[in-house]
Amino acid sequence: MSDQRLLTIPTFTIMLEHHTIMRDVIRDMDEAGEPYVHEAKFITQLHRYMQGLSRDKQKQLRTAFSIENLLAAHILVDKDEFGGESRLIFDRSVIGVFRLFDRSLFQDLTDVALKTQLGSLRLLLEQVESDSLLFSDADLDYKELMDELFHRLSELLNSIRLNLIKMQTINQELSDASELAAKAGNPQVFALLQRESIGKISHLLSRHILPTRQFLDEKSRLKDGPNLFECLQKLRRQFDLHQDHQREMAMLRYEISFNSFHTQISKVSHSVDQFLARSKKRLQQFNAIEAAFGELSEALDATQHNLKRSLIDGEFARNNGAFMGLMQQARPKVLRISRSEAYLNNVVSDIEARVADQSLLKQTSLCGNDELQR
């Protein structure tokens, strides 16, 4: 790595120009579920990206992405040693900027994250409801509290909006997963892909979609305190009581926005539920067919290794519920249409009519060409 140093703006400009590097770094962090990246992995990705670039570009990237330069530019907030490995911790705001380049990098909201944000909002509500505030922007304590309140609400609104955008693309992902499984020629590969798809979607539903939907449900009742909408309504009443109508209307707008998000995420949840139901049904059918085929193969092997038995034992059909009542059904009648004289005459007549039509079309085309030549 280079010993040269760059200022924060030139460093960040180079990082934005080559944002693919940070995209891969963030993706690795998310997949590992860690707030840091291992230095060795970071350097490996940087070298992989630099392959094929000119010497000047490689030198520029080595300088900008050197650990010392990133620390000096305050893009890295820390570098520590843990378990014999060096870990790099990027500033959260820097990571947030690069997440905007790729929708798939929008960070999923978890139940813990939502409860943390709701807890912060409740603390701010308690301060607003206390008698220590003057409800005047001339009071610095009140102004700072309002700035923090609206910052929290804006941040929460944006986080849910970004997550909703990511979730709304899930229908295409589900369609792609189904198509990939359907194209698998090997039945075992089909079953494996179906199980993986069900596992991923179930995790997304239980850890992200359902907690967000419950968080945005104004009818939900929480044991530990008011829900999101109850907090907003209490804040609105406080602003109305103190004739702060601008902030009162702002709280109403937040209520409307969060409520519209609940409607949208409910649609996503319904789509995922339907996909899981269909996938589980297909997998159950596949497993049932596989199990029946295995039993049938064993019964067939018994006839091939036992000279005294030429037919499959009827016990297989009796034990398998799929064959119940089959013997009582009437056999389908054989329809020998191809041997019927009338059927053959109709076929010949149809062929002759088609040939006559084709001849007529050719004659019409020739006449048209003659007219044009004249």
pLDDT at 73: 92
Last residue of a domain, one of 51, 77, 99: 99
Q: Are 303 and 310 in contact (CB under 8 A)?
A: yes
In a domain, 306, yes or no: no
DSSP state of 288: H
pLDDT > 70: percent of the chain = 82
Q: Let me know if residue 317 belongs to a domain.
A: no
Q: Which of 99, 129, 148 marks a domain boundary? A: 99
Q: Which of 56-60, 126-130, 172-176 has the lowest mean pLDDT?
A: 172-176
Phi and psi at 22, nearest 5°, equal -70, -30
Q: Give residue 307's pLDDT.
A: 61
350 falls within a domain: no
| Domains in the chain, number | 2
Are 71 and 141 in the same domain? no
Residues 31 and 60 in one domain: yes
What local confidence, expressed as pLDDT, does residue 148 receive?
A: 95
| Highest mean pLDDT pick, 210-214, 227-231, 262-266 | 227-231
Rounded to the nearest angstrom, the gap between the alpha carbon of residue 125 and the centroid of all alpha carbons in its chain is 34
- pLDDT score, position 154: 93
Decide: helix, strand or coil at residue 357.
helix
Residues 95 and 53 in one domain: yes
Question: Do residue 46 and residue 151 come from a single domain?
Answer: no
pLDDT at 119 over 90: yes
116 in a domain, yes or no? Answer: yes
Asked if the structure places residue 343 within a domain, the reply is: no
Residue 235 lies in a domain: yes
Three-class SS of residue 159? helix
Q: 193 and 44 share a domain?
A: no
Q: Which of 250, 267, 293 is the last residue of a domain?
A: 293
- For residue 175, being part of any structural domain is answered with yes
Q: Are residues 173 and 32 in the same domain?
A: no
Do 271 and 126 share a structural domain?
A: yes
196: confidence class by pLDDT, cuts 50, 70, 90: confident
In this predicted model, which residue has the larger pLDDT, 293 or 20? 20
pLDDT, position 67? 92
**pLDDT level of residue 122 (50, 70, 90 thresholds):** very high
Mean of all residue pLDDT scores within the chain: 82
Tell me, what's the pLDDT at 153?
95
Which of 155-164, 278-287, 328-337, 353-362 is the most confident on average? 155-164
Least confident of 9-13, 24-28, 310-314: 310-314
111 and 255 fall within a common domain: yes
DSSP state of 338: G
Residue 371 has pLDDT above 60, yes or no: no
Write the CB contacts of 155 (distance below 8 Å, at least 6 apart in sequence): 117
> Can you tell me the distance from the alpha carbon of 52 to that of 287, in angstroms, rounded to the nearest whole number?
49
| One domain for residues 188 and 288 | yes
pLDDT at 346: 78
Q: Is 88 helix (H, G, I), strand (E, B) or coil?
A: strand
**Amino acid 327: pLDDT:** 64
Check whether residue 53 and residue 199 sit in a common domain. Answer: no
Whether residues 142 and 232 fall in one domain = yes
If asked whether residues 186 and 262 sit together in one domain, one would say yes
251 pLDDT higher than 60: yes
| DSSP assignment string, 45-76 | HHHHHHTTS-HHHHHHHHHHT-HHHHHHTTSE
Is residue 304 in a domain? no
Q: Can you give the CATH number for the domain in which 72 is found? A: 1.10.10
CATH number, position 260: 1.20.58
Provide the residue range defining the domain that includes 87: 8-99
pLDDT exceeds cutoff 60 at 313: yes
Out of 30-39, 41-50, 269-278, the most confident range is 41-50
* 190 phi, psi to nearest 5 deg: -60, -50
What is the average per-residue pLDDT within 32-55?
A: 90
